[in-house]
Chain A
Amino acid sequence: MSRVWPLLVALSRDWLRNREAAFFALLFPVILLVIFSAVFAGGSAEFTLFVQNNDVEPGGEPTNLSSAFVESLKGVDALAVQSLDPDRNPTAWREGSRTTETQRLLVIPEGFGAAVRNRSLQVRMAVIADTTERMGGQLNASQTAQIRRNVQRARNATNATAPVTVAFRAPPDDESAPTVRGIVDSVVAGFNDRAIGVEEPTVAVESERVGGENLGATDYYLPAFIAAVVLINGVMTVPAVVAGFKHDGTLKRLAGTPLRRRDWILATILQQTVIALVMLGVMVVVARLLFGVTAVPGPLSVALVSLGAVAFTALGIVLAGFLPDPDAATSLGGAVAFPMMFLSGVFWELDVMPPAIRTVAEFMPLYHFHRGLRQLMVRGTTEGLFVPFAVLGVMAAVFVVLAVRTTRWRDF
């Protein structure tokens, strides 16, 4: 055991002087943090929507109702509404557009205002008729008959029977189209309500932020980045470094000394754990300085990150044992790390994934690592922490044993 310390010092010095390793362990996570935080926490999204209003008066002015509908769209913060002249051919316009976003188009048909007016009257009459029926004994027969006659007269005066349709057009590769379509649907629903005289909503939604005071989006991303970087260090960097030492004979030189295999593995794991904790500190400080992050890792967060570093480094040593070539070891590490990152809900929520993938994710150690860190750093609670600690603890124990068994100390 006394040989672990000098080897740990040597490994750490060698690592600190390796610019590539230092970049990927410290600077790369910071760059990742800054980019993601700038992209996802830099303000609300805004989607461009072109509107072609074909419902115009003989003089060329939009009808009142179609104009009111366009104004409703413009009133939504998330939409940047732009007009497309009614004279333009939508197909020719789309083909002339250069980006996906500018091909998103809502077409208001000719006769929109008249159709809305007639449809509105029909709906109102239906409401009156229905209300009359429901009032039952409160009206006498004469009053009821009078109302029915008036309703029927009004219905006869209108000729629209089907709702008017506005056409939403977006190319198939427009990933934001479903979101924009949802916003348009909500505007249409509000317009429909007002068209039949419903000014006061029956049901309203109120947004509240949960999970802590003064927490921003970066607070929520930070645990994800930390978990992902610990994974990348352990599963991609460690196999490359260890395979490199094996390839150039450094490991054989060490094996020719009294240093034992377990000492080598322990020193490597300790070195990576120290790197993970330094990385944790750097990321927290950068997140605080640049994005005002308030989440601070406590002793349990430090313990969980350390356990994660042990588990993933041991896995990396096992991977290095299979391949002597550093490039092949990096590729194998990538093949393990990237699917785990994308399937564990680190970079995006599992809610957007199919149920089968969500089930798979729950078997990924990174999923539990990330959830545990988020629980500790963002929610500030220890509830449910047994699972992440247990999963990473079992993983660490299994892969440390496997690392001892698969690392060659003879017959290189």
Chain B
Amino acid sequence: MFGDLFGNGETVVCDGGTTDGGTVVEVDDLTREYGSTVAADGVTFDVREEEVFALVGPNGAGKTTVVEILECLRTPTSGSATVVGFDVEREPHAVKERIGVLPQSFHTFDRLTVRENVVLARRLYDEGFAVETVLDRLDLDGYADTRFGALSGGWQQRTGLAMALVSDPDLLFLDEPTTGLDPAARRTTWTQIDRLADAGTTVVLTTHYMEEVEELADRAGLLVDGELVAVDTVSTLVDRYGGAVKLVVRAGSDGVDETVATELRSAAVETYRTDAEDLVGLFDDRSRAQDAFGRLHDLAGDRSIDLVSAGMEDVFLRLAGGTLDAGGELR
């Protein structure tokens, strides 16, 4: 599957399993309950070959529950799912042979070096890439003899990525791959995932970073309180739910002037405030947004006003009724 990335020219998809018209994952009415808590409530979606699919939602929305069911690490209460053509409940071993997993809060043997951990991961599968090739392509060769426990969070995540990729999986699960990383390490991880995507890798990604979804995902599913409220390509979601364009009034030291706020609220379809107290107005129509921009510009004086395209954050606001903070909590 990752032949292009690792240079051996192999392109093998779903060997042994059967997929339906390029569908790698099929999830049907999947439910998982913990006592009275419903972590996943009738979730239905599919993942297509060679796409990056993102499950997006706040903490506790059920993202990890759904992904761990697909990784055969959790049992569904009801519903069904197939991964690379195999049923996750009846054929877990066949599924695990064909997937790569980077779990949330990834950890492996602290006192083994990066190379030793990747060698272990490789030997747990019948087939896969040469360890040195994977280390080289993920720029891990400089840390190959460093013990895992001595690495920073970013390099630990990259080691996890190497361990997930070394078996040449048909499908890669990345559960919150950049949570807890500093901005530079997050950006580097994105680059690595981008390279995988460019090489035709099928990836299922969970995240609460909207920027990450916009950067990496072809399609996304929004999970709120265990329910999948929307699934589509990122661009369609933004067009349909985010509004075509938005006006952002930057807050000064005294916030946003009330006259400006009132004008924006009357002109926009919906408004909300960001973490920085900026006021954001969503518009379905670009010309209406430009008219409003002209009026607000006169009212706001030297206050900064930007006209920008809408994004996944706006989609999430519309569908979940709030925004996500940096920690993944719904506000």
Q: List the A side residues contacting B72 at CB < 8 Å.
A: 256, 410
Asked whether, in the complex, the Cβ of B111 is within 8 Å of the Cβ of A256, the reply is no
Asked whether, in the complex, the Cβ of B103 is within 8 Å of the Cβ of A256, the reply is yes
Q: At the interface, yes or no: A6 with Cβ under 8 Å from chain B?
A: yes
Band of interface residues on A: 20 to 34
Closest residue of A by beta carbon distance from B101: A256
Q: List the A side residues contacting B109 at CB < 8 Å.
A: 10, 13-14, 250
Asked whether, in the complex, the Cβ of B108 is within 8 Å of the Cβ of A250, the reply is yes
Partner of B120 from the list A7, A17, A411, A412 (CB cut-off 8 Å) is A7
Asked whether, in the complex, the Cβ of B116 is within 8 Å of the Cβ of A13, the reply is yes
Interface string of B160-183 (1 = CB under 8 A from A): 100100010000000000000000
Asked whether, in the complex, the Cβ of B108 is within 8 Å of the Cβ of A17, the reply is no
Q: At the interface, yes or no: B75 with Cβ under 8 Å from chain A?
A: yes
Q: List the A side residues contacting B119 at CB < 8 Å.
A: 6
Q: At the interface, yes or no: A257 with Cβ under 8 Å from chain B?
A: yes
Q: At the interface, yes or no: B105 with Cβ under 8 Å from chain A?
A: yes
Docked CA distance A252–B101 (Å): 10
Docked CA distance A260–B120 (Å): 14
Asked whether, in the complex, the Cβ of B116 is within 8 Å of the Cβ of A255, the reply is no
Interface string of A249-266 (1 = CB under 8 A from B): 110111111111000000
Q: At the interface, yes or no: A248 with Cβ under 8 Å from chain B?
A: yes
Q: At the interface, yes or no: A156 with Cβ under 8 Å from chain B?
A: no
Which of B85-113 touch A at CB < 8 Å? 92-93, 96-97, 99, 101, 103, 105-112
Known contacts A256-B73, A260-B93; A248 and B124 CB within 8 A of each other: no
Docked CA distance A12–B107 (Å): 18
Interface string of B118-160 (1 = CB under 8 A from A): 0111011110000000000000000000010000000000001
Q: List the B side residues contacting A249 at CB < 8 Å.
A: 103, 105-107
Closest residue of B by beta carbon distance from A409: B73
Known contacts A6-B123, A258-B125, A260-B93; A253 and B108 CB within 8 A of each other: yes
Docked CA distance A258–B103 (Å): 15
Q: At the interface, yes or no: B51 with Cβ under 8 Å from chain A?
A: no
Known contacts A13-B112, A258-B93; A253 and B123 CB within 8 A of each other: no
Closest residue of B by beta carbon distance from A7: B120
Q: At the interface, yes or no: A3 with Cβ under 8 Å from chain B?
A: yes
Partner of A259 from the list B73, B124, B126 (CB cut-off 8 Å) is B124
Closest residue of A by beta carbon distance from B124: A257
Docked CA distance A279–B214 (Å): 57
Asked whether, in the complex, the Cβ of B73 is within 8 Å of the Cβ of A10, the reply is no
Q: List the A side residues contacting B108 at CB < 8 Å.
A: 250, 253
Closest residue of A by beta carbon distance from B105: A249
Asked whether, in the complex, the Cβ of A258 is within 8 Å of the Cβ of B107, the reply is no
Docked CA distance A100–B194 (Å): 78
Interface string of A4-26 (1 = CB under 8 A from B): 00110110011001100000000
Q: At the interface, yes or no: B48 with Cβ under 8 Å from chain A?
A: no
Q: At the interface, yes or no: B186 with Cβ under 8 Å from chain A?
A: no
Docked CA distance A250–B160 (Å): 11
Partner of A18 from the list B97, B111, B124 (CB cut-off 8 Å) is B111
Q: List the B side residues contacting A6 at CB < 8 Å.
A: 119-120, 123-124
Q: A14, A250, A259: which has the most chain B beta carbons within 10 Å?
A: A14
Asked whether, in the complex, the Cβ of A10 is within 8 Å of the Cβ of B107, the reply is no
Docked CA distance A152–B79 (Å): 112
Which of A1-51 touch B at CB < 8 Å? 3, 6-7, 9-10, 13-14, 17-18
Q: List the B side residues contacting A14 at CB < 8 Å.
A: 109-112
Q: List the B side residues contacting A10 at CB < 8 Å.
A: 109, 112, 116-117, 120
Asked whether, in the complex, the Cβ of B96 is within 8 Å of the Cβ of A256, the reply is yes
Say how far A249's CB is from chain B's closest CB, in angstroms: 4
Docked CA distance A6–B147 (Å): 18
Which of A365-412 touch B at CB < 8 Å? 410-412
Q: List the B side residues contacting A254 at CB < 8 Å.
A: 124
Closest residue of A by beta carbon distance from B34: A411
Q: At the interface, yes or no: B26 with Cβ under 8 Å from chain A?
A: no
Q: List the A side residues contacting B73 at CB < 8 Å.
A: 252, 255-256, 410-412
Q: List the B side residues contacting A18 at CB < 8 Å.
A: 111
Interface string of B15-47 (1 = CB under 8 A from A): 000000000000000000000000000000000
Q: List the B side residues contacting A411 at CB < 8 Å.
A: 73-75
Say how far A214's CB is from chain B's closest CB, in angstroms: 43
Docked CA distance A9–B120 (Å): 9
Q: List the B side residues contacting A250 at CB < 8 Å.
A: 107-109
Say how far B209's CB is from chain A's closest CB, in angstroms: 21
Q: List the A side residues contacting B120 at CB < 8 Å.
A: 6-7, 9-10
Asked whether, in the complex, the Cβ of B111 is within 8 Å of the Cβ of A17, the reply is yes
Closest residue of A by beta carbon distance from B147: A17
Q: At the interface, yes or no: B71 with Cβ under 8 Å from chain A?
A: yes
Docked CA distance A411–B91 (Å): 16
Q: List the B side residues contacting A17 at CB < 8 Å.
A: 111-112, 147
Q: List the A side residues contacting B106 at CB < 8 Å.
A: 249, 253
Q: List the A side residues contacting B75 at CB < 8 Å.
A: 410-411
Docked CA distance A256–B119 (Å): 16
Partner of A3 from the list B74, B112, B124, B147 (CB cut-off 8 Å) is B124
Closest residue of A by beta carbon distance from B74: A411
Asked whether, in the complex, the Cβ of A253 is within 8 Å of the Cβ of B96, the reply is no
Docked CA distance A13–B96 (Å): 25
Which of A181-201 touch B at CB < 8 Å? none
Say how far A271's CB is from chain B's closest CB, in angstroms: 13
Asked whether, in the complex, the Cβ of A253 is within 8 Å of the Cβ of B74, the reply is no
Partner-B contacts on A (CB < 8 A): 3, 6-7, 9-10, 13-14, 17-18, 248-250, 252-260, 410-412
CB-based closest 10 A-B pairs: A6-B123, A256-B101, A17-B111, A249-B107, A257-B124, A248-B107, A10-B120, A14-B109, A14-B111, A258-B96
Can you add 19 more A-B contacts, CB < 8 Å, to A13-B111, A250-B107, A253-B103?
A6-B119, A6-B123, A7-B124, A13-B112, A14-B109, A248-B107, A249-B105, A253-B106, A253-B107, A253-B163, A256-B103, A258-B93, A258-B124, A258-B125, A258-B126, A410-B74, A411-B73, A411-B74, A411-B75
18 contacts between A and B (CB under 8 A): A3-B123, A3-B124, A9-B120, A10-B112, A10-B116, A13-B111, A13-B112, A14-B110, A14-B111, A18-B111, A248-B110, A249-B107, A250-B108, A253-B101, A256-B71, A256-B103, A257-B96, A410-B72
